[in-house]
Structure 1
């Protein structure tokens, strides 16, 4: 195969043409960075966290597709993924994932030792997530932890270059843990919507998902998780002294959540997938409110 064709397969493997995935990871990470820095964090930290987010999400896709290749061939939506279809070998996919993770680790090295500790925690959870779907009734909660590691990393990074590894957990304030818990709720909400798309296929192959675990209460559970997200991030914003601009961002996110309820209430594949695919705008609305409020202070 020509080099250009191989590159296209690699880009497909890391979902380069579907940026919604890394945007879901990016907005809460940057929101936490703004809270941690008390506003604009500077270009260096911004570049480190944007680059690290994109790289680690891409590496996670490589690991996930390798781990799920035997399951994905039985699911219509995933049967043509490069590893599942055999277009990319397992060795190639893992090699690409390792390279991307190493580059992301290099970015972490430019911060401090506490951030590096959290980078290892994030890597461990990222590697564990694909296998959680075999054993854990709510594997989306494991994904929620993986997608929230950037929050404590942000608070540690904002402390400067001298934060030691021994302070990796104590350096994260109470509001940091509230943001993490709230983000966990958001991930549970949108990834349950995603799981609702494949519920019939997952039942056939024995995969565990939150959509299956919640059963007929799936829509109610999604709405409750959204409420936890908005309530906890709203509480942190109030505690940080944010005002009207932040409230408008939360309101815009809440309006979208109401729209998502309309999309998923009938549990159609199209409606649930659309709600998941557009979820990054919910996170963007909250992040934009944070940035705007700090900017006008």
Structure 2
């Protein structure tokens, strides 16, 4: 909770309030993992948490470019102001980090090929599309690009569901393919 409480004041203190937002907002990855599994498995949960923080830096920096003129007038700070004209290059690094960390979390969790194809393929394509599309000096494209992040979230969620369905389907097929060994005698 301390991160949630201090976040609103960070724009007065640091050019990295989006980092604090990411740390606060993505705490749900750790809490959710624990709630669903009954324990904390750090090799899976920490990369997932870090991916969420990295993704927050991407979408909230884009969002912040809408307000940069007002922010400068009132003297508040943001990654949008810090990165300035280098925003797309810096966000390309955070986008790559997001995809890499999601894939690392998936690897540590034993996700299969459908997961990686969706995350690395469609997820990367979506984040690249955002960076090509957004005009950081046009509030309207910043807003619509920011909103398009719901699709990135849907891609990751779809990757998990697709992988789960594929694993269940192949497990059912494997179970049905087992023919009894005639040389084996049951006790």
Structure 2 length-normalised TM = 0.82
Conservation of the 8 A alpha-carbon contact between 1:219 and 1:265: no
Q: Evaluate the alpha carbon distance shift between residue 295 and residue 174 of structure 1 in structure 2; reply closer, same or farther with a 3 A threshold.
A: same
Partner secondary structure for residue 197 of structure 1: coil
Partner secondary structure for residue 259 of structure 1: helix
- 1:136 has 2:14 as partner: yes
In the alignment, what sits opposite 2:24?
146
Conservation of the 8 A alpha-carbon contact between 1:193 and 1:272: yes
Conservation of the 8 A alpha-carbon contact between 2:17 and 2:78: yes
In the alignment, what sits opposite 2:103?
234
In the alignment, what sits opposite 1:260?
130
1:229: Cα distance to partner?
A: 0.5
In the alignment, what sits opposite 2:83?
214
Q: For 1:140 and 1:244, locate their aligned partners in 2 and report how far apart those are by CA, in whole Å.
A: 32
- 1:188 has 2:57 as partner: yes
Conservation of the 8 A alpha-carbon contact between 1:185 and 1:229: yes
Q: Evaluate the alpha carbon distance shift between residue 260 and residue 178 of structure 1 in structure 2; reply closer, same or farther with a 3 A threshold.
A: same
Gap regions ≥5 residues in structure 2: 168-187
Q: For 1:204 and 1:239, locate their aligned partners in 2 and report how far apart those are by CA, in whole Å.
A: 46
The total of aligned residue pairs comes to: 166
Alignment of 1:1-297 (within 5 A): 123-160=1-38, 171-250=40-119, 251-265=121-135, 267-297=137-167
Structure 1 length-normalised TM = 0.53
Q: For 1:188 and 1:157, locate their aligned partners in 2 and report how far apart those are by CA, in whole Å.
A: 26
Q: For 2:74 and 2:15, locate their aligned partners in 1 and report how far apart those are by CA, in whole Å.
A: 15
Taking only aligned residues, the RMSD between alpha carbons, in angstroms, comes to 1.6
Q: For 1:173 and 1:239, locate their aligned partners in 2 and report how far apart those are by CA, in whole Å.
A: 9
Partner secondary structure for residue 200 of structure 1: helix
Q: For 2:137 and 2:118, locate their aligned partners in 1 and report how far apart those are by CA, in whole Å.
A: 28
Larger Rg belongs to:
2
Conservation of the 8 A alpha-carbon contact between 2:134 and 2:145: yes
Partner secondary structure for residue 127 of structure 1: helix
In the alignment, what sits opposite 1:77?
none
Q: For 1:177 and 1:244, locate their aligned partners in 2 and report how far apart those are by CA, in whole Å.
A: 21
1:270: Cα distance to partner?
A: 1.6
Structure 1 residues 67-112: Cα deviation after superposition (integer angstroms, max 9, x where no partner)? xxxxxxxxxxxxxxxxxxxxxxxxxxxxxxxxxxxxxxxxxxxxxx
Partner secondary structure for residue 62 of structure 2: helix
